[in-house]
Chains A and B, each alone.
Chain A
């Protein structure tokens, strides 16, 4: 009964209006976020003429998959796509492995040098040598213009180490380790057969964050790579959309106008192709991202 009384107190006219305003604003936020995304997807499957004449407002006009057809016949895009898949897979594997290798020992209380090591790595979050000195190191290691340049120099993100470390700290108790030690289990074996199987949630977070980061990255490729056949998709995208170097120069489209229309359409299709892999899995994995952010912020 107390609950019903409280409800009556709460719902004054002012509160109702206030709540209504909040719903209205949030509704507008949703529209403001979704509209550009829907517009791009609609444009990408409309006819080239409809896109350039501004006839697409919300839904596709004269549905056509011309953009995608041309894209998948453009060698630089195919190469870029394949490269990005490789960088994402290999980079994620390397990054997650290295992150666990340092985060787990850092989570053990008995680990000698734990605080010093933690300081060594967190300091890199607030200070770095800068662009040129880093570039010179990468050059000295002979990594310039090799695939390794995108996999190694930024392999470990300190933030991910902190997140993984807090997870290990809270879900793998030191007592468990001590118990297995008494049973004669080595640290390596303990990690392999106890820690990793118990850490699937955090491994999921690490894999997702590193994979998205790697898929979306362009900066390292911009500074370290020279050969076009090593370029990830993002760099190809930059060249075609932002620098306006028209893709598919070899397509046999007779008229100038048609060619222009098609190159405009291609930009929309390219955005869709480059973003879809991430946005399609996103609704299913969102909660892992949120978890990851929160684990990190607890320890702050």
Chain B
């Protein structure tokens, strides 16, 4: 073969994917078995859909699904438009320096780790010494134990996430805005369009393809909302709203070593997610002619 060296080169990465990405997919048959440590995955008895049934009949099932969908739905509703608005606003700024500065600053929190992000949230919202409560007291208001209130959990999660990632997410839209045909702006100018009309009729239509693709990716990930931050923000007081499918899998699977059941729950989640992704992609293809494949 002509490029045998290239094929040789690909072997280690390919092994990586086979072992750490595909082998786990095979292992997912665990969901249909009753895992026994001594017999191993393949020696354990088949139980059909028993684990799934257990999950669906579990009183927690609807709570978990509701919490997962509510959290990512909220995240989508608030977190999706804001980067677009931010990009449109930054795009209006003509002075190079201020524009760069805004971008630099708003992009920065993206590099803060999840652990530090949650630490900051907890320090600011701490019941006694937290900055927010000290400020509330200053204005004569009572302290609130934000992280202990189940009703506050979703807002804390979503808005801290927007604080952290809006600037980062705006970059893609800014690039799309930079790619809009300049003659369109000239035409708008000649027609006497105001700044707002220009945004409405030139900028927005120009970035619709990008918006649709990002939307597909976001909706397709609704069930895959990150474990990392939710888990760190959880505490026994807010668990009623903060226990989502991903954290439940971790708790039941790794902490209680209930492998088969947790694999079934995880698989259920992945499959729903996959179906969502295909559905949204198909819909977008039909309606807007934009799609990710």
Question: Is A29 in contact with chain B by the CB < 8 A criterion?
Answer: yes
Question: Is B129 in contact with chain A by the CB < 8 A criterion?
Answer: yes
Task: State which of B53-61, B62-70, B84-92, B150-158 sits at the interface with chain A.
Answer: B84-92
Against A, the Cβ 8 Å flags (1 = close, 0 = not) of B83-113 are 0001001101100001001101111110111
Tell me if B106 and A33 are in contact (CB < 8 A): yes
Tell me if B105 and A30 are in contact (CB < 8 A): yes
Residues of B within 8 A of A (CB): 1-3, 5-7, 9-10, 12-14, 16-17, 19-28, 30, 41, 86, 89-90, 92-93, 98, 101-102, 104-109, 111-116, 118-120, 122-124, 129, 131, 134, 163, 167, 171-172, 175, 189, 192, 194-196, 210, 213, 220, 227-228, 232, 246, 249-250, 253-254, 259, 262-263, 266-267, 269-270, 274, 277, 292
* Chain A residues, CB < 8 A from B25: 127-129, 133
Task: Compute how far the CA of A33 lies from the CA of B17 in the bound complex, rounded to whole angstroms.
Answer: 38
Q: What 5 additional pairs, Cβ within 8 angstroms, besides A110-B3, A267-B119, A268-B123?
A: A108-B6, A132-B262, A133-B25, A133-B28, A286-B107
Within 8 A of B (CB), among A6-54: 6, 9-10, 12, 14-15, 18-19, 22-23, 25-26, 29-30, 32-34, 36-37, 39-40, 51-52, 54
Closest to B268 in A: A130
Q: Knowing A29-B106, A130-B266, A133-B27 touch, does A98 contact B16 (C-beta < 8 A)?
A: yes
Q: Knowing A111-B6, A133-B263, A293-B171 touch, does A238 contact B86 (C-beta < 8 A)?
A: no
Q: Knowing A54-B129, A218-B114, A241-B122 touch, does A15 contact B195 (C-beta < 8 A)?
A: yes
Q: Knowing A6-B189, A237-B119 touch, does A187 contact B262 (C-beta < 8 A)?
A: no
* Chain B residues, CB < 8 A from A283: 104
Closest to A7 in B: B189
DSSP majority for the B interface?
helix
* Chain B residues, CB < 8 A from A268: 123
Tell me if A137 and B20 are in contact (CB < 8 A): yes
Within 8 A of B (CB), among A191-221: 191, 212, 215-219
* Chain B residues, CB < 8 A from A99: 13
Q: Knowing A15-B195, A131-B254 touch, does A271 contact B7 (C-beta < 8 A)?
A: no
Q: Knowing A129-B28, A238-B232 touch, does A22 contact B93 (C-beta < 8 A)?
A: yes
A-B contact count (CB 8 A): 250
Tell me if B113 and A132 are in contact (CB < 8 A): no
Give min CB distance, A151 to chain B, whole Å: 11
Tell me if B101 and A30 are in contact (CB < 8 A): yes
Task: Compute how far the CA of A9 lies from the CA of B195 in the bound complex, rounded to whole angstroms.
Answer: 11
Give which listed residue, B90, B119, B259, B274, contacts A132 with CB less than 8 A: B259
Task: Compute how far the CA of A240 lies from the CA of B119 in the bound complex, rounded to whole angstroms.
Answer: 10
Within 8 A of B (CB), among A242-277: 242, 264, 267-268, 270-271, 274-275
* Chain A residues, CB < 8 A from B14: 102, 117, 120
Task: Compute how far the CA of A241 lies from the CA of B217 in the bound complex, rounded to whole angstroms.
Answer: 33
Give min CB distance, B22 to chain A, whole Å: 8
* Chain B residues, CB < 8 A from A176: none
Against B, the Cβ 8 Å flags (1 = close, 0 = not) of A138-158 are 100100000000001111100
Task: Compute how far the CA of A155 lies from the CA of B16 in the bound complex, rounded to whole angstroms.
Answer: 8
Tell me if B10 and A117 are in contact (CB < 8 A): yes
Task: Compute how far the CA of A275 lies from the CA of B119 in the bound complex, rounded to whole angstroms.
Answer: 12
* Chain B residues, CB < 8 A from A241: 115, 119, 122-123
Give min CB distance, B140 to chain A, whole Å: 15
21 A–B contacts, CB within 8 A, in A order: A10-B189, A26-B89, A36-B124, A99-B13, A110-B3, A111-B6, A120-B17, A129-B28, A131-B249, A132-B30, A132-B259, A135-B254, A153-B20, A156-B16, A188-B5, A238-B115, A241-B119, A271-B123, A286-B107, A293-B172, A297-B210
Tell me if B113 and A152 are in contact (CB < 8 A): no
Tell me if B115 and A234 are in contact (CB < 8 A): yes
Closest to B100 in A: A286
Tell me if B13 and A294 are in contact (CB < 8 A): no
Q: Knowing A126-B277, A156-B13, A242-B115 touch, does A187 contact B106 (C-beta < 8 A)?
A: no
Give min CB distance, A124 to chain B, whole Å: 4
* Chain B residues, CB < 8 A from A117: 10, 14
Give which listed residue, A104, A111, A141, contacts B19 with CB less than 8 A: A141
